[in-house]
């Protein structure tokens, strides 16, 4: 449905519900910060509609609170998994020993969950909506590439450790889910880069690809969380056997077990906050640009 | 935003996008099947808008295909977990032995995943939209109560088995996630029944409660899936040790391991299909009833 352009560049779409209708101002970058007559007119219009203004402001505040929460949870996940591998599991190496395996949880949690989640919500930040989309698209692609590389190196660590120690690969349910998540993620990144970054990709293809891209993005995060929870659970049972190695059994909940379980809870919480941000239509970057207020696209069509 | 009533009782909301705008006909039951002049008028309107008709029909077909797929996947999950526990793990009993534990995966997968998922999408079935909502609300509540009871009995089975065999309870990450899912589910059911079924609950409370109820519903399913994946993974490592008991090790992927892993994959697939159905705005039961075409509410306000 075509959007109606409000004075000042803010667009208001006709909506089926207030929750779907929310539209933040997305003026072009060139206009941001300038108090034009049109912008003044918009302020007058807003002054006549205080409930809508209040609703808009509340929504922005809730977004930033959730965004801040996601960053804190993500940071807590990375700290927890580093402390677990670095302190409780003996540290890191790349020599085929258990210390090489220790890279696996750190890189998978950091890459496939935290950096991935942070990269997924880049477009939802309202402050970016008034700006040229291309830099944010490149940031999204770069964060996802970092996440993908970390995940692949994380998989290499466990494959290398298994191969050197004559342990079978890809037999557990954890590995099936984790490998699927990484494979779909790699496919998603390649298709996303080809479909949304290449200047030669047609606009019609982008329109078809976009909902699939968004949908697959959520699925990858769900698979990542399931893989992480099963992996942490499995590792704690393997590591905390209460045997001659001097470890306390998992069932007695020693500090390492509490740390591992807490890491799992933090991962679930981070994933839920990210999925909440992604699923809220109020925080989706508006698709249609107000007519007559064009950006300067660096590629063919950057608004897809 | 207020809906516009179209001839024939079909309502068309003004929308921000075509994907949010989709509105299937939801005539009241009394009118269904009768070819009134208003209905004829609607057909004429539709005849003048073949693309919208085609889009509506395509959406209905896609919904029913996904719904059928969810039912098939749910059935496959139940069959798989029953075969696993009943055949590969020795069957069922309630005597404190491992046979009592076998109820745990069966009841949790059947209750907390399959019956829960089927109950969650009841309102999404387009055929029900033209009918009084109360019977479907009662069906939703009944299915969720069955799911909750199955889950609680499933938890009782594992607690009883642990207590008799002097095994600690609620120490693993799997148990933390699973217990949380069941506790939130129980709270959700009580709040849902009190808020949406009790005639004395005010309409304003229902309006506030509804989005929270829907959001928590999705979270419970995500937690259930994570709990099931970690639980199946853990059980396969426990059961398939390749030791003197004669079992082949999990790492050699014997038939039981393939069955268990397949069960995990089916649970993930079922969950993703259900979440896809729940997240698609085109398949949400329309909130507002066409004016002048009232149902016969049996409770105070059944459209919330």
Residue A248 lies in a domain: yes
| The predicted structure's pLDDT at residue B48 | 59
* CA–CA min distance B41, chain A (Å): 24
Q: Which residue does chain B place closest to A215, by CA atoms? A: B276
Of B16, B234, B251, the CB nearest to A237: B234
Question: Would you call A125 exposed, middle or buried from its count of C-beta atoms within 10 A (0-12, 13-18, 19+)?
Answer: middle
Report how far residue A118's alpha carbon sits from residue B81's, in angstroms, rounded to the nearest whole number: 36
Q: Which domain holds residue B156?
A: 69-283
Closest CA to B192 of B225, B176, B215: B215
The residues, any chain, with a CB within 8 Å of residue A75's CB and separated by 6 or more, are: A114
Contact B219 A264 (CB under 8 A): no
Of B14, B167, B226, the CB nearest to A225: B226
Q: Compute the average pLDDT of residues A297-302.
A: 41
Of A17, A233, A279, the CB nearest to B172: A233
pLDDT digits (tens, 9 = 90+) for A161-185: 999 999 999 999 999 999 999 999 9
Question: Would you call B120 exposed, middle or buried from its count of C-beta atoms within 10 A (0-12, 13-18, 19+)?
Answer: buried
Q: Does position B294 have pLDDT exceeding 50, yes or no?
A: no
Range scoring the smallest mean pLDDT among A80-89, B49-58, B123-132, B276-285: B49-58
Q: Does position A92 have pLDDT exceeding 50, yes or no?
A: yes
**How many CB pairs lie under 8 A apart between chains A and B?**
151
Give residue A218's pLDDT band: very low, low, confident or very high (50, 70, 90). very high
Measured from the Cβ of residue B264, the count of other Cβ atoms closer than 10 Å reads 28
- With b for 16 or more beta-carbon neighbours within 10 A and e for fewer, the A150-177 pattern comes to bbbebbebbebbbeeeeeeeebbbbbbb
Closest CA to A21 of B218, B279, B281, B283: B281
Residue A43 lies in a domain: no
Helix, strand, coil percentages for chain B (3-state, nearest 5): 70, 0, 30
Total number of domains in chain A: 1
Q: What's the alpha-carbon Rg for chain A, to the nearest Å?
A: 23
Of A20, A237, A272, the CB nearest to B16: A20
Residue B37 lies in a domain: no
In chain B, % of residues over pLDDT 70: 78
* CA–CA min distance A30, chain B (Å): 26
pLDDT digits (tens, 9 = 90+) for A110-165: 999 999 999 999 999 998 888 888 999 999 999 999 999 999 999 999 999 999 99
Give residue B245's pLDDT band: very low, low, confident or very high (50, 70, 90). low
Report how far residue A2's alpha carbon sits from residue B50's, in angstroms, rounded to the nearest whole number: 19
- Residues of A in Cβ contact (< 8 Å) with B17: 1, 13, 287
Residue A56 lies in a domain: no
Mean pLDDT of chain A: 83
Of A19, A177, A232, the CB nearest to B268: A177
Residue B3 lies in a domain: no
What's B142's domain CATH number?
1.20.120.1770
Closest CA to A160 of A226, A67, A95: A95
In chain A, % of residues over pLDDT 70: 78
Distance (Å) of CA B26 to CA A184, B15, B119, B130, B139: 38, 17, 21, 4, 19
The residues, any chain, with a CB within 8 Å of residue A218's CB and separated by 6 or more, are: A275, A278, A279
Directed axis angle between helix B173-196 and helix A255-279, to 10°? 40
Q: Which residue does chain B place closest to A212, by CA atoms? A: B276
Residue A243 lies in a domain: yes
Residue B274 lies in a domain: yes
Q: Compute the average pLDDT of residues B108-134.
A: 94
Of B18, B20, B268, the CB nearest to A20: B20
Higher pLDDT, A11 or B270: B270
Give residue A245's pLDDT band: very low, low, confident or very high (50, 70, 90). low
Give residue A27's pLDDT band: very low, low, confident or very high (50, 70, 90). very low
Backbone angles phi, psi at B295, to 5 degrees: -80, -175
- Residues of A in Cβ contact (< 8 Å) with B168: 251-253
Contact B168 A17 (CB under 8 A): no
Half-sphere exposure of B272 (CA within 13 A, CB side): 16
Q: Is residue B281 within 8 Å of residue A20, measured between CB atoms?
A: yes
Report how far residue B287's alpha carbon sits from residue B295's, in angstroms, rounded to the nearest whole number: 13
Q: Does position A45 have pLDDT exceeding 50, yes or no?
A: no
Residue A57 lies in a domain: no
Report how far residue A228's alpha carbon sits from residue A219's, in angstroms, rounded to the nearest whole number: 14
Give residue B113's pLDDT band: very low, low, confident or very high (50, 70, 90). very high
Backbone angles phi, psi at B199, to 5 degrees: -60, -25
Instruction: Identify from B105, B225, B226 which residue to disrupt to test chain A contact, counting A C-beta atoms within 10 A and taking the largest count.
Output: B226
Alpha helices in B23-130 (DSSP H): 37-47, 50-83, 98-101, 103-107, 116-120
Closest CA to A226 of B113, B153, B186: B113
Q: Compute the average pLDDT of residues A255-268.
A: 98
Contact A172 B15 (CB under 8 A): no
Q: Does position A35 have pLDDT exceeding 90, yes or no?
A: no
Q: Is residue B272 within 8 Å of residue A222, measured between CB atoms?
A: yes
The residues, any chain, with a CB within 8 Å of residue A84's CB and separated by 6 or more, are: A105, A256, A259, A260, A263
* CA–CA min distance B25, chain A (Å): 15
Instruction: Identify from A10, A173, A225, A239 which residue to disrupt to test chain B contact, counting B C-beta atoms within 10 A and taking the largest count.
Output: A173
* CA–CA min distance B29, chain A (Å): 24
Give residue B49's pLDDT band: very low, low, confident or very high (50, 70, 90). confident
């Amino acid at each position: 449905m075509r959007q109606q352009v409000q004075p000042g560049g803010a667009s208001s779409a006709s909506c089926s519900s207030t929750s779907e209708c929310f539209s933040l101002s997305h003026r072009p970058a060139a206009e941001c910060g300038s108090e034009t007559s049109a912008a003044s007119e918009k302020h007058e219009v807003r002054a006549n509609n205080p409930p809508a203004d209040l609703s808009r402001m509340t929504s922005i505040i809730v977004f930033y609170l959730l965004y801040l929460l996601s960053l804190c949870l993500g940071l807590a996940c990375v700290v927890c998994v580093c402390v677990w591998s670095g302190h409780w599991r003996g540290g890191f190496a790349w020599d085929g020993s258990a210390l090489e395996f220790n890279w696996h949880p750190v890189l998978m949690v950091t890459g496939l969950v935290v950096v991935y989640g942070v990269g997924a919500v880049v477009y939802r930040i309202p402050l970016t909506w008034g700006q040229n989309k291309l830099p944010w698209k490149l940031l999204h692609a770069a964060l996802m590439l970092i996440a993908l590389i970390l995940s692949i190196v994380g998989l290499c660590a466990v494959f290398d450790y298994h191969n050197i120690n004559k342990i079978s690969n890809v037999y557990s349910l954890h590995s099936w889910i984790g490998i699927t998540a990484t494979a779909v993620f790699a496919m998603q990144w390649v298709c996303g880069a080809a479909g949304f970054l290449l200047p030669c990709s047609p606009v019609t293809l982008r329109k078809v690809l976009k909902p699939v891209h968004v949908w697959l993005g959520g699925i990858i995060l769900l698979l990542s969380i399931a893989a992480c929870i099963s992996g942490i659970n499995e590792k704690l049972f393997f590591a905390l056997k209460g045997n001659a190695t001097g470890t306390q059994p998992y069932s007695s909940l020693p500090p390492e077990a509490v740390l591992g379980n807490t890491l799992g809870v933090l991962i679930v919480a981070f994933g839920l906050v990210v999925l909440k941000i992604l699923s809220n239509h109020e925080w989706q970057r508006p698709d249609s640009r107000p007519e007559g207020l064009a950006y300067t696209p660096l590629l063919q069509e950057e608004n897809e």
